[in-house]
Structure 1
């Protein structure tokens, strides 16, 4: 589909992102988490004691969405809140680390299935193209 000279690429990227999120959520369901929760758990594991603002930025969540997700994760016993001065900090519980580990395994299976549909040259081209788009978007953001 084109609209007044626009490429279909933006819509296709959005559709693929949506389809991937749905597939990831299905694969992560046995671990008891969704992709958005997985991303938050992974960021907390990478930076134990992380504060809300950097966590929201790293996980591409609004502060409001992050608040909802962390409240849910805390109620499920997957993370603990602490404080450092006036800032709220987050760390994983043993149960959170277990869910994250099971989620990593589930997403590795999905990734293998998806990437298996591409030839090595297609995969390289996709990675190169995405890197170029990411770089250009970063440049546009600085203009």
Structure 2
């Protein structure tokens, strides 16, 4: 039987759902959600990113990113800093950076349970194929 594009699409979605569920479960003891951890990770990679930049990097709308950032500022995980013009930038607080580092261990373990079971060559092939399909 031939593999259909729907078969592949469902398999990708199933893996994404598994990752999201496992990562969320493993991050819960830290008191952060997967979207919050992703913001912390992206701010570490892109210091002083704008809300719009963070929304794009974390696959959110500008509005949902704004709400999430407000909650994270209130919790002391990120802080707002003045940028050029009217731009408001964000950066990690020491507490946010600590949670980013701790969360990375949990996220890595969740991924190791799935794509980590592939050989290095299989992971390379999978990455190439997903990158090609997503281009």
TM-score, structure 1 length as denominator? 0.80
- Matched with 2:86 is 86
Q: How many residue pairs get matched?
A: 132
- Is 1:135 the counterpart of 2:132? The answer is yes
Unaligned runs of 5+ in 2: none
- C-alpha change, 1:103 and 1:81, in structure 2 (3 Å) is same
TM-score, structure 2 length as denominator? 0.84
Partner SS state of residue 117, structure 2: coil
Question: Is the contact between residue 50 and residue 90 of structure 1 (CA under 8 Å) also seen in structure 2?
Answer: yes
Partner SS state of residue 50, structure 1: coil
CA distance in 1, matches of 2:116, 2:129: 23
- Matched with 2:11 is 12
Partner SS state of residue 40, structure 2: helix
- Matched with 1:117 is 117
- C-alpha change, 1:106 and 1:133, in structure 2 (3 Å) is closer
Q: CA deviation at 1:46?
A: 1.5
- Is 1:64 the counterpart of 2:58? The answer is no
Partner SS state of residue 8, structure 1: helix
- C-alpha change, 1:31 and 1:68, in structure 2 (3 Å) is same
Unaligned runs of 5+ in 1: 139-143
- Runs of 4+ residues over 6 Å off in structure 1: none
Question: Is the contact between residue 32 and residue 99 of structure 1 (CA under 8 Å) also seen in structure 2?
Answer: no
- Matched with 1:29 is 28
Q: CA deviation at 1:125?
A: 2.5
